[in-house]
Chain A
Amino acid sequence: MPDRQPAADGSAGERSDGTVAGRPDGSVRADGSAEGPVTALPRRNPRPALLASLLGDTLDPGYAEAAARRGRVTGPAPSRRRLAGLWYLAAGVLAVGLVIGIAARATAQSAPGVERTRSALLDDVQSAQHRADELAASASDLAAQIRSTQAALGAARPLATVQALERAGGLTAVHGPGLRIQVDGAQGGSGSGVILDTDLQLLVNGLWASGAEAVTVGGVRLQTTSAIRQAGGAILVDNTPVFWPITVEAIGNPATLHVNFVGTEGFGRFSAFASLYGIRFDLTAQPDLTMPAAAAPDLRYASAAPTTR
Chain B
Amino acid sequence: MYAALALLAGIVIGLFVQPTVPDWIAPYLPIAVIAALDAVFGGLRAKLDRIFDAKVFVVSFVANVLVAALIVFLGDQLGVGNQLSTAVVVVLGIRIFGNVAAIRRHIFKA
In the complex, the answer to whether B45 meets A59 with C-beta atoms within 8 Å is yes
In the complex, the answer to whether A99 meets B2 with C-beta atoms within 8 Å is no
Band of interface residues on A? 35 or more
A101 at the interface (CB under 8 A from B): yes
By secondary structure, the A interface counts as helix
B9 at the interface (CB under 8 A from A): yes
A102 at the interface (CB under 8 A from B): yes
Q: A101-B15, A103-B33, A106-B21 in contact; A62/B59 too (CB < 8 A)?
A: yes
CA distance A221 to B28 in the complex (A): 54
Band of interface residues on B? 35 or more
CA distance A90 to B7 in the complex (A): 8
In the complex, chain A residues 28-60 whose Cβ is within 8 Å of any chain B Cβ: 54-56, 58-60
A298 at the interface (CB under 8 A from B): no
In the complex, the answer to whether B56 meets A9 with C-beta atoms within 8 Å is no
> In the complex, what residues of B have CB within 8 A of residue A95's CB?
10, 36, 58, 61-62
A72 at the interface (CB under 8 A from B): no
Closest CB-CB distance, A6 to chain B, in whole Å?
13
Q: A54-B91, A102-B14 in contact; A97/B54 too (CB < 8 A)?
A: no
> In the complex, what residues of B have CB within 8 A of residue A5's CB?
98
CA distance A67 to B102 in the complex (A): 18
CA distance A8 to B36 in the complex (A): 22
> A8, A70, A86, A103: which contacts B29 (Cβ < 8 A)?
A103
In the complex, the answer to whether A60 meets B60 with C-beta atoms within 8 Å is yes
B101 at the interface (CB under 8 A from A): yes
> In the complex, what residues of B have CB within 8 A of residue A85's CB?
53-55
**A180-222: contact bitstring with B at CB < 8 Å (1 yes, 0 no)?**
0000000000000000000000000000000000000000000
Q: A66-B51, A101-B12 in contact; A106/B26 too (CB < 8 A)?
A: yes
Q: A60-B42, A63-B56, A88-B54 in contact; A97/B9 too (CB < 8 A)?
A: yes
In the complex, the answer to whether A90 meets B2 with C-beta atoms within 8 Å is yes
Q: A5-B98, A102-B21 in contact; A92/B54 too (CB < 8 A)?
A: yes
Closest CB-CB distance, B11 to chain A, in whole Å?
4
Q: A59-B45, A98-B13 in contact; A92/B57 too (CB < 8 A)?
A: yes
New contact pairs (11) apart from A88-B57, A97-B7, A99-B33, CB-CB < 8 Å: A8-B98, A12-B51, A58-B42, A62-B53, A92-B57, A94-B7, A94-B9, A96-B36, A97-B11, A98-B13, A105-B14
User: Can you offer 25 A-B residue contacts whose CB atoms are under 8 A?
Assistant: A8-B101, A60-B46, A60-B56, A65-B56, A66-B56, A67-B51, A70-B53, A84-B54, A85-B54, A85-B55, A89-B54, A89-B57, A89-B58, A92-B54, A95-B58, A95-B61, A96-B36, A96-B39, A97-B13, A98-B11, A98-B13, A103-B32, A104-B14, A106-B21, A106-B26
Seen from chain B, the residues whose Cβ lies within 8 Å of a Cβ on chain A are 2-3, 6-15, 18-19, 21, 26, 29-30, 32-33, 36-37, 39-40, 42, 45-46, 49-62, 65, 91, 94-99, 101-102, 105
